[in-house]
């Protein structure tokens, strides 16, 4: 396993471009299976979950070629097949091939899908939604075979606004006969991006971004060209880095309207920022750090537009340095506080009570050897290391590689001192002398 070595205490300052959104590109890559044409996807972040998703598509005979951050997907030879379970098992989002394969071929076989160990992550809501359209689900020894004689639109009520279940349903219903209305749909911006891509392919989806989405099934979908939205979680992570490490960070392309819950929290914590809402070239958020220690906060994670669970560990790292007692309650995933023990090794004072963390702010964190226990937890440990005194080593950096494009490189451009060490302790991509 590779690791990051961080010399803490550097001020961050400068401008950085936000990458395309991981959670938007993964369903959009899956949606390319809906066509037998060619798709060109722009602003694709180069990160490990994307590479795994492309391997899944290649297993299904999609031909993939890169040009910088642009992907060309030739889907003319796609045929239903059961992709290698080992590849599927690497990421949770591989379950998103279910909707498009069912829509196009009326059958899909998937092995057990993987992902971060942040919770049990069942598929019941996906299946219940697809069953309304006429799908049948056969559990296999490891995974599922889902099939339908015919897919017909219907009224679907999700018991919880699951992001993945909403996405799978949008994809399957786009090639079903007739109209589907989805109630209690997830409202995340990534759902809007997926609907935008399917509509660019010739689909008829309206209402994405609200909790009622209407999908008029069409006979076939064609190829499309599409640009992925900027990553709101990368944006949020860098905002918190700026809040913890002072200086002025200008996040180009960041979409303030996608980060309202976090911006509100930062404002309450006493952190100042400015922003511009515009098209992708004009849109930005600029953060000016915090004059002193941040004020404590009470935060509960929720579905969009609530506070995102994917920003909870990073915010906890910031609040571990606040001027009082904060409480963070996690309502989306049951196992999302595994980073707490790691943060405590650095001097944080945190107690867990059920699904809440009680954080008593301390004046400083100190460098230590810690583990990235999952993707966002790993990002939180890097932020803690940047703000800490001395050296921090973050082990299992592969988790971070799954969801951030060149995380350490971007932070180094802003003035951080992060060095990557390979399995043998050799330096890779170090900016400064360690
Ligand atoms: C997506 C995001 C992930 C984010 C999460 C919540 C992607 C690739 N991943 O994950 O980064 O943290 O949304 O914003 O976009 N659930 C069920 N049954 C189901 C489906 C979900 O009980 O069939 C539960 C899950 O266990 C979890 C909650 O619903 O507790 C939220 O899951 P969901 O919204 O589906 O998240 P994902 O799509 O997996």
Closest ligand 1 atom to residue 124 Cα is: 23
| pLDDT exceeds cutoff 70 at 433 | no
What per-residue confidence (pLDDT) applies to 5?
A: 96
245 is catalytic: no
Token pair recorded at residue 128: 């219940």
| pLDDT exceeds cutoff 50 at 434 | no
Cβ–ligand 1 contact at 119 (below 6 Å): yes
Alpha helices, H only, 388-419 = 398-403, 407-413
129-162 b/e with 16+ CB inside 10 Å = b? Answer: bbebbbbebeeeeebbebbbeebbbbebebeebb
CA distances from 340 to 21, 296, 305, 394 (A): 26, 17, 25, 14
Cβ–ligand 1 contact at 160 (below 6 Å): yes
How many Å apart are CA 58 and CA 44, to the nearest integer?
A: 17
What per-residue confidence (pLDDT) applies to 422?
A: 83
Q: Give residue 390's pLDDT band: very low, low, confident or very high (50, 70, 90).
A: very high
Cβ–ligand 1 contact at 122 (below 6 Å): yes
Task: Read off the pLDDT of each residue in 414-420 and give the average, rounded to a whole number.
Answer: 96
Helix axes 22-31, 189-200, angle to 10 degrees: 30
What per-residue confidence (pLDDT) applies to 78?
A: 93
Cβ–ligand 1 contact at 403 (below 6 Å): no
Atom 24, ligand 1: residue with shortest CA distance: 121
| 286-322 pLDDT tens trace | 998 767 899 999 999 999 999 999 999 999 999 999 9
Substitution site in 160, 309, 377, 400 for ligand 1 pocket (most atoms within 8 Å of beta carbon): 160
Q: Name residue 325's beta-bridge partners.
A: 360
| 94-135 pLDDT tens trace | 899 999 999 999 999 987 766 556 666 789 999 999 999 999
Task: Read off the pLDDT of each residue in 252-267 and give the average, rounded to a whole number.
Answer: 97
pLDDT, mean over the chain: 94
| pLDDT exceeds cutoff 70 at 373 | yes
Q: How many CB atoms lie within 10 A of CB 246?
A: 18
| 132-156 pLDDT tens trace | 999 999 998 888 899 999 999 999 9
Distance 125 CA to ligand 1 centre (A): 10
Cβ–ligand 1 contact at 126 (below 6 Å): yes
Distance 88 CA to ligand 1 centre (A): 17
What per-residue confidence (pLDDT) applies to 292?
A: 84
Atom 17, ligand 1: residue with shortest CA distance: 122
| 29-85 pLDDT tens trace | 999 999 999 999 999 999 999 999 999 999 999 999 999 999 999 999 998 888 888
Supply the pTM of this predicted model. Answer: 0.96
Distance 121 CA to ligand 1 centre (A): 7
**Which of 143 and 164 is assigned the larger pLDDT?**
164
Catalytic site residue from 39, 75, 116, 245: 116
Cβ–ligand 1 contact at 28 (below 6 Å): no
Cβ–ligand 1 contact at 63 (below 6 Å): no
CA distances from 173 to 106, 150, 214, 233 (A): 11, 11, 9, 28
Cβ–ligand 1 contact at 93 (below 6 Å): yes
| 321-333 pLDDT tens trace | 999 999 999 999 9
Closest ligand 1 atom to residue 127 Cα is: 23
How many Å apart are CA 324 and CA 270, to the nearest integer?
A: 13
Distance 165 CA to ligand 1 centre (A): 8
Q: Give residue 426's pLDDT band: very low, low, confident or very high (50, 70, 90).
A: confident
Helix (H, G, I), strand (E, B) or coil at 58: helix
Distance 215 CA to ligand 1 centre (A): 21
Cβ–ligand 1 contact at 80 (below 6 Å): no
Distance 163 CA to ligand 1 centre (A): 6
Substitution site in 162, 187, 261 for ligand 1 pocket (most atoms within 8 Å of beta carbon): 162
% of the chain surpassing 90 pLDDT: 85
Cβ–ligand 1 contact at 26 (below 6 Å): yes
Atom 15, ligand 1: residue with shortest CA distance: 23
CA angle 191, 192, 197 (to 5 degrees): 95
Atom 32, ligand 1: residue with shortest CA distance: 162
What per-residue confidence (pLDDT) applies to 81?
A: 82
Distance 164 CA to ligand 1 centre (A): 6
Cβ–ligand 1 contact at 305 (below 6 Å): no
What per-residue confidence (pLDDT) applies to 120?
A: 66
| 209-229 pLDDT tens trace | 999 999 999 999 999 999 999
Distance 120 CA to ligand 1 centre (A): 10
């Amino acid at each position: 396993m590779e690791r990051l070595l961080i010399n803490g205490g550097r001020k961050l300052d400068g401008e950085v471009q936000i990458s395309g959104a991981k959670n938007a590109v993964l369903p959009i890559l899956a949606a390319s299976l809906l066509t037998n044409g060619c798709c060109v996807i722009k602003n694709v972040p180069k990160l490990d979950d994307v590479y795994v998703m492309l391997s899944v598509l290649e297993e299904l005979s999609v031909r993939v070629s890169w040009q910088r951050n642009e992907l060309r997907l030739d889907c003319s030879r796609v045929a239903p097949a059961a992709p290698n379970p080992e590849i599927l098992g690497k990421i949770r989002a591989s379950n998103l091939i279910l909707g498009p394969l069912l829509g196009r071929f009326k059958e899909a076989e998937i092995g057990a899908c993987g992902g971060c160990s942040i919770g049990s992550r069942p598929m019941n809501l996906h299946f219940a939604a697809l069953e309304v359209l006429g799908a049948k689900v056969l559990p296999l020894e490891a995974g599922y075979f889902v099939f339908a004689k015919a897919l017909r639109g219907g009224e679907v009520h999700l018991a919880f606004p699951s992001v993945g279940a909403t996405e799978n349903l949008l994809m399957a219903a786009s090639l079903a006969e007739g109209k589907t209305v989805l109630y209690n749909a997830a409202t995340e911006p990534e759902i809007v991006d997926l609907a935008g891509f399917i509509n660019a392919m010739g689909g008829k989806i309206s209402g994405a971004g609200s909790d009622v989405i209407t999908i008029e099934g069409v006979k076939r979908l064609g190829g499309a060209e599409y640009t992925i939205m900027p990553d709101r979680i990368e944006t949020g992570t860098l905002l918190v880095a700026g809040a913890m490490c002072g200086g002025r960070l200008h996040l180009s392309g960041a979409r303030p309207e996608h980060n309202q819950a976090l911006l509100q929290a930062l404002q309450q914590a006493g952190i100042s920022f400015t922003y511009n809402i515009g098209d992708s070239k004009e849109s930005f958020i600029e953060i000016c750090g915090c004059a002193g220690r941040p004020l404590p906060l009470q935060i509960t994670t929720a579905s969009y537009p609530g506070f995102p669970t994917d920003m909870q560990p990073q915010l906890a790292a910031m609040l571990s340095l606040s001027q009082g007692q904060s409480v963070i309650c996690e309502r989306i995933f049951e196992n999302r506080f595994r980073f707490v023990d790691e943060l405590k090794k650095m001097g944080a004072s945190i107690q867990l009570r059920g699904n809440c963390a009680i954080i008593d702010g301390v004046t400083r964190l100190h460098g230590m050897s810690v583990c990235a226990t999952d993707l966002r937890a790993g990002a939180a440990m890097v932020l803690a290391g940047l703000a800490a005194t001395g050296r921090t080593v973050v082990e299992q950096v592969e988790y971070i590689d799954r969801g951030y494009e060149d995380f350490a490189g971007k932070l180094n451009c802003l003035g951080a001192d992060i060095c990557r060490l390979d399995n043998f302790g050799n330096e890779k991509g170090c900016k400064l002398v360690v």
